[in-house]
Amino acid sequence: MADFDTLKERLEQHLARHGLKHTRQREAILRVFAGTREHLSLDELLRRVQREMPGVGYATVYRTMKLFTAAGVAHERRFGDGQTRYEPVAVDDEHHDHLICVRCGRIYEFDDALIERRQVEIARERGMRIVSHRHDIWVICCGGEE
Amino acid sequence: MADFDTLKERLEQHLARHGLKHTRQREAILRVFAGTREHLSLDELLRRVQREMPGVGYATVYRTMKLFTAAGVAHERRFGDGQTRYEPVAVDDEHHDHLICVRCGRIYEFDDALIERRQVEIARERGMRIVSHRHDIWVICCGGEE
DNA sequence: GTCCGTGCAAATAGTTTGCAGGACC
DNA sequence: GGTCCTGCAAACTATTTGCACGGAC
């Protein structure tokens, strides 16, 4: 679970720097969002936020997650199921990639120094500079049963 | 460029095995599709097919590409720009991953034995079996200019 | 008071599907 | 001739935007 206070501070800085405002909705969404390690879709996030603040609209959550992404508080992920998911940025901002179980839908994280290093070499060999990457591995994690 | 005859044969086998039919449209779409190494979106593909067979509809190309994917003739790719792209399966069926230039949009391919091997280890260490994967690296390929 | 944010509803974009007529074997 | 295929148009899904009102500073 990401550290709420750290994310909040990061968000406040972004708001201040861009002349944006602190609102009850943004606070509530951040609290819900920071309180999970799952990769939540907007619908799931909306549902959870509405539990502690009914009346919040989809568009607000949508725009807030774009804001969080710009503020370096959230990562946007698309795993190809047609849903955009959001994940709190780790406090140390360490990168990681994903293992997705095609049976149960669970999402695991991995980070491998060897692969990271090799990527940089591959780009360098071609005279390219890496901007970002994603490395998703679809697996069966549970031996066949849910 | 993928070998048209090889892809055609692979498609014919799939059609025969599933009681499906050979049509002029499918032939035309395969010809256009096999004749490129680019990663074409449906719109681009449709436009090209219509040049040699006007009147072909979007839905036909759409369904045909799903068919090609099932037949092992095309790979479906999503690079996060909101467009599904299709790429001919290489004759030797070798896997590869992608480098995408965020400036000019060009898509390059790479294949790295070290990374491939490492992935398998990562999954095995966790008792998972790999189903598939994608590894996309966004880069600046052109030193800043288009 | 001003500007930004919210919630609603409508617009958009890409994809998917139902159906009537046409093509394939 | 029966079945599959096509092209059109409509439905769907997720996302994005316009706007009038409300809230933050």
Smallest Cα distance from A8 to chain B, Å: 28
Whether B138 has its CB under 8 Å from any CB of chain A: the answer is: yes
Inspect the interface and report whether the beta carbons of B135 and A138 lie closer than 8 Å.
Answer: no
Smallest Cα distance from A85 to chain B, Å: 13
Q: Are strands B74-78 and B97-101 parallel, antiparallel or unpaired?
A: unpaired
Nucleotide nearest to B63 (CA to C1'): C16
For A42-46, B34-38, B116-120, which range has the lowest pLDDT when averaged over its residues? B34-38
Whether A134 has its CB under 8 Å from any CB of chain B: the answer is: yes
The mean pLDDT of A24-35, rounded to a whole number, is: 97
- B140 vs A101, A131, A133: nearest CB: A131
- In contact, A118 and B114? CB cutoff 8 Å: yes
The mean pLDDT of A81-87, rounded to a whole number, is: 93
CB atoms within 10 A of CB A107: 18
pLDDT band at B146 (very low <50, low <70, confident <90, very high): very low
What does the DSSP 8-state code read for residue B15?
Answer: H
pLDDT tens digits, one per residue of B51-110 = 999 999 999 999 999 999 999 999 999 998 889 999 999 888 788 999 999 988 899 999
Strand D nucleotides in reach of protein CB atoms, 7 A cut-off? 3-9, 13-18, 23-25
Tokens describing residue B32: 């256009």
Nucleotide nearest to A61 (CA to C1'): C6
pLDDT tens digits, one per residue of B22-48 = 999 999 999 999 998 889 999 999 999
* Host H or E run for residue A76: strand A74-78
